[in-house]
Amino acid sequence: PTTLSFINDIKSKFAIGATYGSADPVTGKFSTVSMNAMGMDLQLDGTIKFNAAAYSLASSKGLQDILAAGVKVGGASGVLSSSPTVTTTQGTISSRESALVAFTSMSPGQTLTMAGLVFKAGSLGASATQVASAFANISTVGISASSLNTSKSLGDSAGGSFTSGSSLGWTSGAASDSTLTFESSTNNNDVTDLSLIQTAGTSDLLSFITAQIGANGAINSQIQNEVTEGNLLAKQQAQLTERLNSIQNNFISQYSALNALLYQLSSTSTALNSALTALTNSQSNN
């Protein structure tokens, strides 16, 4: 990202306001509060100005309780998709409880908690089939989120990945398009029905900055790419310098050999001239 777009994105987070507290268990959305309601005015130049009057009014309306609930700047709720449907077949003394789940598509950043695992949709969202595939073929309990991500190659291209948890209480078989059957890990008993929790995706300021400048962030990745390219150029320069030095040394060796040959030729010429002079003198004396 360019510096200007990076700054504009930060300004847009402040303009959105903030969310606080926990997601509503029904809608999955967070409560929102504006920056102005917290006593802060966002200026046209991107700076923030403290507003004493607004802060005093907000304090009288329970601002401290809002702050105590945990505020995320720029964390306006995203879109929450329709909830998956769960059709339960109760367990008996002769059969395990099962639950047929019909998954739905998920919006970017939306999370779905089910059977001990938390799945988060990727930046492009997740189709119902992708969500079902992520939860499919979990044959035993206790499998961690990271293990599933690795074994299933989960990520943005697969619709998202598991962020936390481990398989708990339920196992699953193969998915059929967007439907999947879970089976209780408890033998032949009526257990607590399989439940799920959805939360809408959010994009708060801290997450955005971390995504940009964190260890795997876009800006940090660009810096690392520049460093890598710089190191590659330095390596190529060193190789080129070594090659030029080798060529130079080769030329020096050839010049030295040629110089030695010229010296030998000069010595030979001098010797021949001396011999010729001696022969001429000898002929003259005779």
Output the CA torsion sign for 14, 15, 16, 22: positive
The sheet carrying 18-20 orders its strands as 31-33, 18-20, 71-73
Q: Residues 115, 166: contact at Cβ < 8 Å? A: no
What's the pLDDT score for residue 17? Answer: 64
Does residue 286 fall inside a structural domain? no
Does residue 209 fall inside a structural domain? no
Distance from C-alpha of 169 to C-alpha of 191, rounded to nearest angstrom = 9
Residues 151 and 197 placed together within one structural domain of the fold? yes
Place of tokens 């789940």: 101
Q: Residues 54, 37: contact at Cβ < 8 Å? A: yes
Q: Residues 88, 97: contact at Cβ < 8 Å? A: yes
What's the pLDDT score for residue 173? Answer: 94
Domains: count for the chain: 3
Residues 221 and 255 placed together within one structural domain of the fold? yes
Expressed in percent and rounded to 5, the helix, strand and coil fractions of the chain are 45, 20, 35
What's the pLDDT score for residue 63? Answer: 78
Residues 114 and 43 placed together within one structural domain of the fold? no
Distance from C-alpha of 103 to C-alpha of 62, rounded to nearest angstrom = 39
Per residue in 121-130, pLDDT (tens digit) is 987 889 999 9
Q: Residues 198, 112: contact at Cβ < 8 Å? A: yes
What's the pLDDT score for residue 26? Answer: 59
Does residue 223 fall inside a structural domain? yes
Residues 54 and 96 placed together within one structural domain of the fold? no
What's the pLDDT score for residue 46? Answer: 66
Residues 93 and 58 placed together within one structural domain of the fold? no
Residues 197 and 118 placed together within one structural domain of the fold? yes
What's the pLDDT score for residue 10? Answer: 72
CB atoms within 10 A of CB 8: 13
Length of the chain: 286
What's the pLDDT score for residue 109? Answer: 82
Q: Which of 173, 203, 233 is where one domain is finished?
A: 203
Q: Which of 143, 169, 203 is where one domain is finished?
A: 203
Residues of the chain with pLDDT under 70: 1-3, 12-17, 23-30, 46, 73-81, 201-208, 211-212, 215-218, 286
Does residue 229 fall inside a structural domain? yes
Does residue 8 fall inside a structural domain? yes
Residues 11 and 34 placed together within one structural domain of the fold? yes
Does residue 17 fall inside a structural domain? yes
Domain that holds residue 240: 215-281
Distance from C-alpha of 30 to C-alpha of 20, rounded to nearest angstrom = 6
Residues 179 and 102 placed together within one structural domain of the fold? yes
Distance from C-alpha of 86 to C-alpha of 197, rounded to nearest angstrom = 12
Does residue 252 fall inside a structural domain? yes
DSSP, residue by residue, 53-114: HHHHHHHHTTHHHHHHT-EEET--B-PPPPPPEEEEE--BTTB--EEEEE---B-TT-EEEE
What's the pLDDT score for residue 160? Answer: 93
Residues 89 and 197 placed together within one structural domain of the fold? yes
Residues 116 and 180 placed together within one structural domain of the fold? yes
Distance from C-alpha of 88 to C-alpha of 69, rounded to nearest angstrom = 35
Residues 112 and 189 placed together within one structural domain of the fold? yes
Q: Residues 121, 106: contact at Cβ < 8 Å? A: yes
Residues 95 and 66 placed together within one structural domain of the fold? no
